Amino acid sequence: MTHATHPLRNGGQILIQQLRRHGARRVFLVPGESYLPCIDALNEHRDAIDPIVCRQESGAAYMAEAYGKLTNEPGICFVTRGPGATNASIGVHTAFQDSTPMILFIGQVGNDFIEREAFQEIDYRRMFGPMTKWVAQIDDPARIPEYIARAYAVATSGRPGPVVLALPEDTLWGEASVADVEPRPRLHSHPSRAQLDELGQRLEQAERPFLLLGGSGWTEQAQHQVAAFAERFALPVGVAWRRLECFDQRHEAFVGHVGNGMHDALRERLEACDLLIAVGTRLGEATSEGYSWIESPTPRQALVHVYPDPEELGHVYRPSQAINADVVGFAGALEALSPATPPPWQAETQAARRAYLATLEPQEAPGPLSLDRVSQTVDRVLDGKGCISVGAGNYALYAHRYVRFSGLGSSLAPTVGSMGYGLPAAISSKLEHPKRPAVCYAGDGCFQMNLQELGVALQYRLGIVVLVFNNGMWGTIRAHQEHDFPGREIALTFTNPAFATLIQAYGGQGEIVEDDATFEDAFRRALSFAERERLPALIELRYDADGIAPGQRLSAIREAALSHPASPTPGAQQP
């Protein structure tokens, strides 16, 4: 409905004003003529909204997704139609599987050209439907406030996720006199008193409980409340696959990162536990190691599944107790639970903690440069400060194993396992927390998928540090290849540029490290340069490619496969 008392504005002005009303502080974009009125309207909000001009739409979408992880508010991304939208789709898919609030705005052909396969035209409802919470097209400028308000509500409610809104040119150039819609307070779902009583009874009857945390939407208060709950009940705490920021790993209750690459003692503990309390996590394929240590549809363990989306409860696993609550609401309610007597499993929790600490000792590695010791040094030098981002590849396993992440904002890792994520995520972290270190772990292949975003670090003077793990091949796939087709390596190697020289073109500092003795000094120099000059620093790590993962060698994988031939594993995925 239009009202003559409201100023006449074009669609771009209405949209950007509505974003400001909802608290948007930063938008990530690759400019396109299809949404020029939105770009122009940013002029009126220079004091409130910071436009970050990216170099490619996948980088922009990744930055927006990382912003959503860091703030629990929708990351805002603008891209042009057609090629821009397809490039950005990888960030949307990441936001969907990672349950991250995000809104992607896409320019669209005018309604007078629609359904003619006009220049760069795509039906975005069909394209994005399976990987978003909501896809829509705004055909009337007077309804823009309504759509934006709904987009924020959908992206942040229940299980958070991405929303895609298409913006036809006639909508953005058209005018309307319409009122803005005020944002609504964030709603949280809570467990009932009866559900808390049942959970308390299950804890009283348990002998080997385990608390597993994951998902999105965590706040510092919620993490403190869950930590206090774990302390009262002496519970061992693990974090789900690539949800390393969900719990302070220096806490005495923390016993490990659950999922691909976890240590044997932790897997055995999970298989043997008689009460699994899973909070905020879907218990997906990577966390469950292919639905192995916890079986679908009926787990061996008594499963208390706490999740904000009721459709997820019972979707893969039949829980013994299902609690429809988000992590904030559930964490706050836990203050009502305390054990009547000291929990009998305290010694088991302490043993699990010792087993985790033992995994922090570096594994044997080939060659003069040990990636185990590299990550051990990173952990010691950072001492719980800053953020480490990763993309996909076996190199990420070193950070996951040896770095003790300190809670919210300390880790940015795509659970979807998408490559090229680490650099844009580090940039987003540095924009949000300019005084905190931002360290990007990147494989040599992963880094080259989005290295153009170094231009953003240069333009906005962002002192990030990039560790490039150079083994000259697609290492994760090579490990799968040696397992399934031993001794038949082909099509997995590549020739790299001089990374340490390349960074200089972006105003940065670069070094090459080839042995353990020189890494710490190089890392400290990189951190110092990045902080002092507010420009990127890069360390190229050249290491023996036989060291493919902590404690594992490609040659050993090949030998084992040749000794015990197995059927090929279909569908090998990026870790």
**According to the model, what pLDDT value does residue 114 have?**
75
**According to the model, what pLDDT value does residue 410 have?**
98
Average pLDDT estimate for 558-570: 76
Is the pLDDT confidence value at 246 over 60? yes
**According to the model, what pLDDT value does residue 570 have?**
44
Is the pLDDT confidence value at 536 over 50? yes
**According to the model, what pLDDT value does residue 53 have?**
98
* Strands, sheet with 209-213, edge to edge from the N-terminal-most edge strand: 254-257, 237-239, 209-213, 275-279, 302-307, 321-324
Among 46-55, 244-253, 557-566, the least confident range: 557-566
**According to the model, what pLDDT value does residue 4 have?**
53
Confidence of residue 2 (pLDDT cuts 50, 70, 90): very low
* Three-class SS state of 401: helix
Q: How much of the chain exceeds pLDDT 70, in percent?
A: 97
**According to the model, what pLDDT value does residue 342 have?**
95
Average pLDDT, the chain: 95
Is the pLDDT confidence value at 118 over 90? no
Among 120-129, 307-316, 403-412, 430-439, the least confident range: 120-129
Is the pLDDT confidence value at 111 over 90? no
**According to the model, what pLDDT value does residue 495 have?**
96
Q: Is this model's pTM higher than 0.85 or not? A: yes
Q: Evaluate whether 402 touches 362 at the Cβ level (below 8 Å).
A: yes
**According to the model, what pLDDT value does residue 571 have?**
43
Confidence of residue 566 (pLDDT cuts 50, 70, 90): low
Is the pLDDT confidence value at 101 over 90? yes
CB neighbourhood size of 434 (10 A): 14
Q: Evaluate whether 229 touches 235 at the Cβ level (below 8 Å).
A: yes
Is the pLDDT confidence value at 219 over 80? yes
Domain 8-177 shares a fold with domain 193-358: yes
Q: What is the pLDDT of residues 489-532, one digit of tens each?
A: 999 999 999 999 999 999 999 999 999 999 999 999 999 999 99
| Structure tokens, 151 | 């987009």
* Beta carbons within 8 Å of 22's beta carbon, 6+ residues apart: 148, 149, 152, 183
- Residue showing tokens 């090459």: 512
Greatest CA separation for the chain: 81
Class in CATH terms, 371-563:
alpha beta
Average pLDDT estimate for 202-214: 98
Is the pLDDT confidence value at 110 over 80? no
Confidence of residue 216 (pLDDT cuts 50, 70, 90): very high
d(CA 422, CA 424): 6
Q: What is the pLDDT of residues 158-202, one digit of tens each?
A: 999 999 999 999 999 999 999 999 999 989 999 999 999 999 999
Average pLDDT estimate for 349-360: 98
Positive/negative CA dihedral, 51, 52, 54, 58: negative
What CATH number belongs to 193-358? 3.40.50.1220
Average pLDDT estimate for 195-213: 98
Confidence of residue 113 (pLDDT cuts 50, 70, 90): confident
Is the pLDDT confidence value at 573 over 80? no
Question: Residue 315 carries which side chain, given as an amino acid letter?
Answer: H
Domain boundaries, the chain: 8-177, 193-358, 371-563
CATH topology of domain 8-177: Rossmann fold (3.40.50)
d(CA 134, CA 146): 14
Average pLDDT estimate for 418-425: 97
